[in-house]
């Protein structure tokens, strides 16, 4: 009787909207989620708003100016690429604490084009002189660390992009709906070996929103027919890892979170029917197969070769198209992933539906050179 | 060799020039858990001990742990180059640029021996003083 549910959730189609503002994009997603629940902003008791690039500009309050200033508490959240998931989790925490029965969580981002990473502090330019602080470089080294351990190949990493781009052809809300054959992925512009341009996530604008409710509210309002249970919500920061000061860690932080998540949910990875994980680069997806326990140590290369993580496979991963093809508006990604899994659990994912999906996992991880990292995992369950 | 770096400014805080004019990479070692860090610090990030951190100099030889060849970087940065993560002999892990190799994965091997060298970076500070930087090169070079 104390379970917590998503009762409304949606995302705008990811794309480039240079003429609109983050609050406007957030407002569109918020209204879509409220409509999905059949509720109004006046029913919401608090707002958790995730946005990274305008973290100091009260995007949540500006969102309410667009859709109704009801005076509810607004928490503006920033946590790198885990921003949206952190906003969602903060809403979950507040309901779990018994403070509210119904809250709105929104994630939004408006991105420029080009490489992410680094910050110009003035003075000495470290880029090129002390390695690289670009995001592709960071995840390239993480991929080659996997190659060092297990012999994972450039081709195996590239297959992740082939798969996720294929998935996105079935997702009308993805930025791209284009097949990218293996040869094309491998021959596209090399950014940071082994990640080519088609193996890097797409910088897009986007917003996603969710209405989170206590069981009491769900029953009182008769919303159980559209509810998806939040089986567990966990978050970690990067625990100390041997090489992380030189090479940012996204492995230990994910392993710790997945351990907590499986323990809290009382299930194992073999019970999960689909996963939306943080494929910010093709190399990242493979290391997370192992970090999330979807396969044994060193088996990620074999797993992508075998098609187990493709739609129709044993454990489909990123059937939305993932960050690689659906797009990665940083602050929106964490809630967009939850939207994808919830849509499958509701049996409403259309051509890309994972048949019989009962339990799904979302994973995001954010961070950067010299910063540390954040990981959030949610396990959702069909009601 | 001493004073050959006179008038140069270290590129980053953990690159230091000692009283005899010799550059080195500053490190710290926790007396409680033994962890070695690059740069000076007082509290251990691994075990949280506050009392036993000792300043040290990191070694100048090591092995290539991981790398990537950067073909596209931020505007104005010359490519390609090799970004490397090096495990130093004697402890500590350091990132840097690996020079004097072909920027080609086929020519790079995990665990290849490298050493640290200190060179004029070609960049200058606002007073026109050259920045001294550290790089890795293959150990034989
Ligand atoms: Zn220690």
Domain identity same for A87 and A188: no
**B30, B78 Cβ separation under 8 angstroms:** no
Domain identity same for A151 and A216: no
Computed over every residue of chain B, the mean pLDDT equals: 95
pLDDT value of position A120: 56
Domain identity same for A93 and A82: yes
Residue B73 to residue A132, Cβ atoms within 8 A: yes
- Alpha helices, H only, chain A: 22-37, 59-67, 83-96, 135-150, 154-168, 182-187, 215-221, 252-265, 282-291, 300-306, 322-325, 330-345
Q: How many domains does the structure of chain B reveal?
A: 1
pLDDT value of position A155: 98
Q: Residue B37 belongs to what domain range?
A: 9-138
The whole-number average pLDDT for the span A324-353 is: 98
Contacts of B49 (CB under 8 A, 6+ apart): B30, B31, B32, B33, B43
| CA distance readout (Å), A373 to A75, A172, A235, B65 | 21, 31, 11, 21
Computed over every residue of chain A, the mean pLDDT equals: 96
Residues 228-257 of A with CB under 8 A from B: 240, 242-243, 245-247
Percent of chain A with pLDDT over 70: 98
Beta bridge partners of A207: A108
pLDDT value of position A116: 72
Domain identity same for A338 and A224: no
Report the distance separating Cα A218 and Cα B24, nearest Å.
63
Predicted confidence (pLDDT) per residue in B62-120, tens digit: 999 999 999 999 999 999 999 999 999 999 999 999 999 999 999 999 999 999 999 99
Report the distance separating Cα B136 and Cα A12, nearest Å.
47
A98 φψ region: left (φ > 0), alpha (ψ -120 to 50), beta (else): left
Domain identity same for A176 and A281: yes
pLDDT value of position B140: 80
**B81, A137 Cβ separation under 8 angstroms:** no
| Residue B2 included in any domain | no
Domain identity same for A92 and A237: no
**What residues in B contact A251, CB-CB < 8 Å?**
none
Predicted confidence (pLDDT) per residue in A51-79, tens digit: 999 999 999 999 999 999 999 999 999 99
| Residue B28 included in any domain | yes
Domain identity same for A93 and A238: no
**B8, B131 Cβ separation under 8 angstroms:** yes
pLDDT value of position B81: 98
Report the distance separating Cα A161 and Cα A179, nearest Å.
10
Buried b (16+ CB within 10 A) or exposed e, B94-104: bbbbbbebebe
Query: Quick one: tokens of A50?
Result: 């995730």
A308, A290, A292, A309: which is closest to A300 by C-alpha? A290
Size of interface A-B (CB pairs under 8 A): 119
Distance to chain B for A287, nearest Cα, Å: 15
Q: How many domains does the structure of chain A reveal?
A: 2
Q: Residue A208 belongs to what domain range?
A: 4-124+204-230
Domain identity same for A256 and A245: yes
pLDDT value of position B1: 47
Residue A131 to residue B95, Cβ atoms within 8 A: yes
Domain identity same for A224 and A333: no
Residue of chain A whose Cα is closest to the Cα of B12: A124
pLDDT value of position A253: 98
Q: How far is the CA of B26 from the centre of ligand 1 (A)?
A: 17
Predicted confidence (pLDDT) per residue in A181-194, tens digit: 999 999 999 999 99
Domain identity same for A71 and A146: no
Query: Quick one: tokens of A94?
Result: 């507040």
Domain identity same for A274 and A314: yes
| Residue B77 included in any domain | yes
Chain A contact probe: residue of B95, B99, B134, B135 with most A CBs at under 10 A: B95
A332 or A113, greater pLDDT: A332
> What CATH number does the domain containing A35 carry?
3.40.47.10
Residue B66 to residue A247, Cβ atoms within 8 A: yes
Residue of chain A whose Cα is closest to the Cα of B125: A123
- pTM equals 0.96
Report the distance separating Cα A137 and Cα A117, nearest Å.
9
Domain identity same for A224 and A235: no
């Amino acid at each position: 009787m104390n379970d917590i549910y998503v009762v409304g959730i949606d995302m705008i189609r990811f794309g480039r909207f240079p003429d609109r503002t983050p609050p406007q994009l957030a407002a569109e997603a918020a209204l879509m989620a409220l409509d999905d629940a059949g509720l109004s902003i006046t029913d919401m008791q608090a707002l958790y708003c995730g946005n990274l690039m305008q973290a100091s500009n009260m995007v949540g309050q500006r969102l309410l100016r667009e859709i109704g200033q009801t005076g509810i508490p607004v928490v503006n959240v920033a946590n790198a690429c885990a921003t949206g998931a952190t906003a969602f989790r903060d809403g979950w925490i507040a309901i779990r604490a018994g403070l509210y029965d119904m809250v709105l969580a929104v994630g939004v981002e408006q991105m420029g084009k080009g490489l992410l990473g680094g910050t110009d502090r003035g003075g000495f330019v470290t880029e090129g002189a002390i390695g690289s602080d670009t995001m592709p470089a960071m995840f390239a080294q993480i991929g080659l660390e996997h190659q060092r351990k297990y012999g994972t190949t450039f081709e195996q990493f590239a297959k992740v992009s082939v798969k996720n781009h294929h998935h996105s052809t079935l997702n009308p809300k993805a930025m791209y709906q284009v097949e990218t054959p293996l040869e094309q992925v491998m021959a596209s512009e090399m950014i940071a070996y082994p990640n080519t341009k088609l193996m890097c996530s797409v910088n897009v604008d986007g917003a996603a929103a969710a209405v989170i409710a206590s069981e009491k509210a769900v029953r009182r309002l008769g919303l159980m027919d559209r509810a998806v249970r939040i089986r567990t919500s966990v978050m970690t920061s990067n625990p100390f890892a041997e090489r992380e000061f030189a090479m940012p860690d996204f492995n230990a932080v994910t392993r710790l979170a997945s351990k907590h998540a499986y323990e809290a949910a009382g299930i194992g990875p073999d019970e999960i029917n689909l996963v939306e994980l943080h494929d910010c680069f093709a190399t990242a997806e493979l290391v997370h197969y192992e970090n999330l326990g979807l396969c044994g140590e060193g088996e990620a290369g074999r797993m992508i070769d075998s098609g187990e993580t493709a739609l129709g496979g044993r454990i489909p991963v990123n059937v939305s198209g993932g960050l690689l093809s659906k797009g990665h508006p940083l602050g929106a990604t964490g809630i967009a992933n939850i939207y994808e899994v919830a849509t499958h659990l509701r049996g409403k994912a259309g051509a890309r539906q994972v048949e019989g999906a009962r339990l799904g996992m979302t994973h995001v991880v954010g961070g950067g050179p010299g910063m540390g990292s954040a990981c959030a995992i949610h396990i959702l369950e069909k009601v | 060799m001493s004073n050959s770096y006179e008038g140069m400014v270290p590129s980053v805080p953990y690159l230091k020039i000692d009283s005899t004019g010799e550059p080195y990479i500053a490190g710290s070692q926790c007396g409680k858990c033994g962890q070695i860090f690059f740069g000076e610090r007082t509290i251990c990030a691994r075990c949280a001990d506050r009392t036993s951190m000792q300043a040290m100099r990191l070694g100048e030889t090591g092995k290539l742990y991981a790398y990537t060849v950067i073909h596209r970087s931020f505007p104005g940065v010359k490519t390609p180059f090799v970004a490397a993560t090096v495990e130093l002999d004697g402890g500590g892990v350091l990132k840097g640029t690996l020079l004097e190799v072909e920027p080609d994965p086929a020519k790079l091997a995990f665990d290849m021996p490298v050493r640290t060298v200190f060179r004029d970076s070609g960049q200058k500070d606002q007073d026109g003083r050259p920045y001294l930087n550290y790089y890795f090169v293959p150990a034989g070079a």
